[in-house]
Structure 1
Amino acid sequence: MWIPLLAFLTAGIVSLQKCQRGPGPMLRAASVLAAVPGLCQRPENRCATSNALTCTVCLALGPECGWCSQEDFMSGATQKGRCDMIFNLIKKGCQSEFIENPTIRVTIPSDHKENTQVTPGEVSIQLRPGGKASFMLKVHPLEKYPVDLYYLVDVSASMHDNIEKLNSVGFDLSKKMANISVDFRLGFGSYVDKTASPYISIHPERIHNQCRDYNLDCMPPHGYIHVLSLTDNIAEFKNAVNKQKISGNIDTPEGGFDAMLQAAVCQSHIGWRKEAKRLLLVMTDQTSHLALDSKLAGIVIPNDGNCHLKDNVYIKATSMEHPSLGQLSEKLIDNNINVIFAVQGNQFHWYKDLLPLLPGTVARQIESQAANLNDLVVEAYQKLISEVKIQVDNQIQDLHFNVTAICPDGSRKTGMEGCKNVAYNEEVLFNVSVAMKGCGTTGGRKYVIIRPIGFNETTIINIYKNCACQCEDSARHKRICVDETFLDGESIHCEDTNCSSSEDTFPSERCKLHPDQPICSGQGDCIGGRCLCHKTKLGKVYGKYCEMDDFSCPYYHGNLCAGNGECEVGKCKCFHGWEGDRCQCSSLTAEHCINSKGQICSGRGACICGKCECTDPRSFGRFCEYCPTCNNACDENRSP
Structure 2
Amino acid sequence: MTSGLRSLPPLGVLLCCAVVLAVCAEASSAAGAGACWSPGVASCADCLRRGPQCAWCFQEDFLHGSGLSRRCDLPENLRGRGCHPEFMEQSEVKVEVNATLGSTQVSPRDVSITLRPGSDASFIVAVKQLERYPVDLYYLVDVSASMQENLNHLKTVGVALSLRMMEHTSDLWLGFGSFVDKPVSPYINVHPSKISNPCSDYEIRCRPAHGFHHVLSMTGNMSEFTRVIKRQRISGNMDTPEGGLDAMLQAAVCQNAVGWRPEAKRLLLLMTDQPSHLALDSRLGGIVVPHDGLCHLENNVYTGSTRMDHPSLGQLSDKLLENHIYSVFAVEKLQYQWYEELVRLLPGSYLGKLGLFQAPTLIDLVVDAYKRLLSEVAVSVSVEDEAVSRFWVSISPVCPHGSTAKDRSCSGVQPGQMVYFNITIGQHSCAKDGKDEDVTVLVRPVGYNESTVVRIRSKCQCSCGPMGRCNEDDQSPCIDQEQRSDHGHLKDSKTDPNRNCRADGSNVDCSGRGVCECGKCVCDQSRLGIIYGKYCEIDDFSCPYEQELLCGGRGACVSGECVCEDGWTGDSCGCPTSTSVCQSPDGSLCSGRGKCVCGKCVCDDPEQYGELCERCPTCQNPQQICKSVDCNHSQRLSHKEVEGFNTTCAPFADSINCVSERVSSGRLVGTFLSVCALTVLCGLVVVAVSRLLMQKRLRSPGGAGGDGGHHCPGKDLSYIPTINEKTVTYRRDWPPDHPVEMHIQVPKMPLGDSWQF
Partner of 2:438 in structure 1? 445
Q: Distance in 2 between matches of 1:247 and 1:80?
A: 73
Partner of 1:482 in structure 2? 472
Does 2:91 correspond to 1:98?
A: no
Distance 1:159 1:103, change over 3 A: same
**Is the CA contact (8 Å cut-off) linking 1:394 and 1:447 kept in structure 2?**
yes
Does 2:316 correspond to 1:328?
A: yes
> CA RMSD for the aligned pairs?
3.0
Q: Which amino acid aligns with 1:449?
A: L
SS of residue matched to 1:377: helix
| Deviations 1:198-234 (CA, angstroms, capped at 9, x unpaired) | 3233334443332345553322322221110000111
Distance 1:324 1:444, change over 3 A: closer
- Give 2:54's match in structure 1, choosing from 55, 65, 74: 65
Q: Distance in 2 between matches of 1:370 and 1:224?
A: 24
**Is the CA contact (8 Å cut-off) linking 2:405 and 2:411 kept in structure 1?**
no
Partner of 2:460 in structure 1? 467
Structure 1 residue 185 displacement after superposition: 0.4
Partner of 1:619 in structure 2? none
**Is the CA contact (8 Å cut-off) linking 2:141 and 2:271 kept in structure 1?**
yes
**Is the CA contact (8 Å cut-off) linking 1:53 and 1:483 kept in structure 2?**
no
Partner of 2:394 in structure 1? 402
Distance 1:201 1:438, change over 3 A: closer
Task: After TM superposition, list the pairs within 5 Å mapping 1:59-138 onto structure 2.
Answer: 59-74=48-63, 81-111=70-100, 113-138=101-126
Task: After TM superposition, list the pairs within 5 Å mapping 1:141-152 onto structure 2.
Answer: 141-152=129-140
**Is the CA contact (8 Å cut-off) linking 1:187 and 1:270 kept in structure 2?**
yes
Unaligned ranges ≥5, structure 1: 1-27, 492-640
Does 2:422 correspond to 1:434?
A: no
| Deviations 1:576-626 (CA, angstroms, capped at 9, x unpaired) | xxxxxxxxxxxxxxxxxxxxxxxxxxxxxxxxxxxxxxxxxxxxxxxxxxx
Q: Distance in 2 between matches of 1:122 and 1:433?
A: 15
Structure 1 residue 272 displacement after superposition: 0.8
Equivalenced residues, count: 451
Task: After TM superposition, list the pairs within 5 Å mapping 1:275-354 onto structure 2.
Answer: 275-354=263-342
Partner of 2:368 in structure 1? 379
Q: Distance in 1 between matches of 2:38 and 2:28?
A: 22
Structure 1 residue 49 displacement after superposition: 3.6
**Is the CA contact (8 Å cut-off) linking 1:190 and 1:225 kept in structure 2?**
yes
**Is the CA contact (8 Å cut-off) linking 1:469 and 1:481 kept in structure 2?**
no
| Deviations 1:384-418 (CA, angstroms, capped at 9, x unpaired) | 11222222212534222111222224865432xx2
Partner of 1:174 in structure 2? 162
Q: Distance in 2 between matches of 1:419 and 1:367?
A: 30
Structure 1 residue 340 displacement after superposition: 0.8
**Is the CA contact (8 Å cut-off) linking 1:46 and 1:61 kept in structure 2?**
no
SS of residue matched to 1:279: strand
Distance 1:229 1:80, change over 3 A: closer
Q: Distance in 2 between matches of 1:74 and 1:214?
A: 92
Partner of 2:660 in structure 1? none
SS of residue matched to 2:377: coil
Partner of 1:249 in structure 2? 237
Q: Distance in 1 between matches of 2:284 and 2:30?
A: 67
Partner of 2:414 in structure 1? 423
Q: Which amino acid aligns with 1:422?
A: V
Structure 1 residue 277 displacement after superposition: 1.1
| Deviations 1:420-462 (CA, angstroms, capped at 9, x unpaired) | 2222222222111122233232423221111222222111111
Partner of 2:150 in structure 1? 162
Does 2:45 correspond to 1:56?
A: yes
Distance 1:94 1:386, change over 3 A: same
Question: Identity rate of aligned residues, in percent?
Answer: 47
Q: Distance in 2 between matches of 1:316 and 1:437?
A: 38
Q: Distance in 2 between matches of 1:320 and 1:366?
A: 32
| Deviations 1:219-269 (CA, angstroms, capped at 9, x unpaired) | 232222111000011111111111112222232222212211111111110
Structure 1 residue 376 displacement after superposition: 0.7
Q: Distance in 2 between matches of 1:338 and 1:490?
A: 71
| Deviations 1:102-147 (CA, angstroms, capped at 9, x unpaired) | 4211110344x33222211111111122222111121222221111
Q: Which amino acid aligns with 1:68?
A: C
Task: After TM superposition, list the pairs within 5 Å mapping 1:179-194 onto structure 2.
Answer: 179-194=167-182
SS of residue matched to 1:108: strand
Q: Distance in 2 between matches of 1:490 and 1:175?
A: 91
Q: Which amino acid aligns with 1:427?
A: M
Q: Distance in 1 between matches of 2:186 and 2:427?
A: 51
Does 2:350 correspond to 1:365?
A: no
**Is the CA contact (8 Å cut-off) linking 2:59 and 2:471 kept in structure 1?**
no
**Is the CA contact (8 Å cut-off) linking 1:70 and 1:479 kept in structure 2?**
no
Structure 1 residue 303 displacement after superposition: 2.4
Partner of 1:630 in structure 2? none
Q: Distance in 1 between matches of 2:181 and 2:321?
A: 24
Q: Distance in 1 between matches of 2:29 and 2:88?
A: 28
**Is the CA contact (8 Å cut-off) linking 2:403 and 2:412 kept in structure 1?**
no
SS of residue matched to 2:126: strand
Q: Distance in 1 between matches of 2:346 and 2:464?
A: 49
Structure 1 residue 358 displacement after superposition: 1.7
SS of residue matched to 1:264: helix
TM-score (norm 2): 0.55
Point out the more displaced range, 374-383 or 463-472: 463-472
Q: Which amino acid aligns with 2:135?
A: V
**Is the CA contact (8 Å cut-off) linking 2:463 and 2:469 kept in structure 1?**
no
TM-score (norm 1): 0.65
Q: Distance in 2 between matches of 1:389 and 1:140?
A: 11
Q: Distance in 2 between matches of 1:369 and 1:461?
A: 43
Q: Distance in 2 between matches of 1:387 and 1:143?
A: 14
Structure 1 residue 487 displacement after superposition: 5.0
Distance 1:375 1:74, change over 3 A: same
Task: After TM superposition, list the pairs within 5 Å mapping 1:195-210 onto structure 2.
Answer: 195-210=183-198
Does 2:32 correspond to 1:44?
A: yes
Point out the more displaced range, 264-273 or 58-67: 58-67
Structure 1 residue 148 displacement after superposition: 0.6
| Deviations 1:313-334 (CA, angstroms, capped at 9, x unpaired) | 1122233322222322222222
Q: Which amino acid aligns with 1:406?
A: V
SS of residue matched to 2:225: helix
Higher helix share: 2
**Is the CA contact (8 Å cut-off) linking 2:296 and 2:303 kept in structure 1?**
yes
